[in-house]
A = this chain, B = another copy of it.
């Protein structure tokens, strides 16, 4: 009963126009009027707890989802029982785009911590986008952006060393936290080492060793999930892949 109260409270109070994520999220670039219309179709349910699935591979597709707080892991189960982690998603990020294709989720999404989401029923979004050119354009852009991000990831997995992969990973979180008004150099990672390794195509042990090594080299301080980046420029050097990282160290 308490929870029912909370839900209805949220339904009244929370709206895109008041949401701090509006500049990162679907409403990005829409006029206030258009945002209002979009808002009408959005559903806000109760939060998920750590380990809850938002959806599973094979589920019928109804809604896209935007994380509003917390974080989510998407992954696709692969034939031999294992899984491939496809992404970690922070507030403002849209998930479920892969399911449009044949009206069925191809991957699963699970909350890494207590997580709230907005659900956007896709059929309604589609109808709305047909009469709102700005929304249609925004949808095309978001889908295209997703493709662009995936191709960056392909380069990461195809060409980069373990070191470059982890540095890229950390800087990605750094930038995304910064965008969201949090510290770019001091944050908590909500996923396990195992999940990081899986995502980056590395063994857990490699990830662990790299964290230790980065710490030894004063690039960062790490204690479990708490990460403090101490030398962001040098991490960027590492991402570039050239041997410039070492020379940059001696610079300082």
Which A residues are closer than 8 A to B by beta carbons?
76, 78-80, 82, 84, 86, 97-102, 106-107, 126, 129-131, 133, 136-137, 139-141, 143-148, 150-151, 153-155, 157-159, 198-201, 240-242
Distance between Cα atoms of A154 and B98 in the complex (Å): 14
16 A–B contacts, CB within 8 A, in A order: A79-B241, A80-B241, A84-B155, A97-B143, A100-B144, A101-B141, A102-B141, A106-B148, A106-B151, A126-B133, A126-B140, A147-B147, A150-B151, A154-B157, A157-B157, A158-B199
Assess whether B133 is in contact with A98, with CB atoms less than 8 Å apart. Answer: no
Closest 4 A/B residue pairs (Cβ): A158-B201, A150-B150, A100-B144, A157-B157
Q: Which residues of B contact A146 (CB under 8 A)?
A: 147
Besides A79-B241, A97-B144, A101-B144, 14 other A-B contacts (C-beta < 8 A):
A76-B155, A84-B154, A98-B147, A98-B151, A101-B147, A106-B151, A126-B133, A130-B130, A143-B147, A147-B147, A147-B150, A150-B154, A157-B158, A158-B201
Q: Which residues of B contact A106 (CB under 8 A)?
A: 148, 151
Assess whether B242 is in contact with A80, with CB atoms less than 8 Å apart. Answer: yes
Q: Which of A82, A147, A148, A242 has most B Cβ within 10 Å? A: A147
Distance between Cα atoms of A111 and B112 in the complex (Å): 44
Q: Which of A78, A82, A126, A137 has most B Cβ within 10 Å? A: A78
Q: Which residues of B contact A84 (CB under 8 A)?
A: 151, 154-155, 158-159
Assess whether A154 is in contact with B86, with CB atoms less than 8 Å apart. Answer: yes
Q: Which residues of B contact A76 (CB under 8 A)?
A: 151, 155
Partner of A130, one of B78, B136, B242: B136
In whole Å, how far is A96's beta carbon from the nearest beta carbon of chain B?
Answer: 9
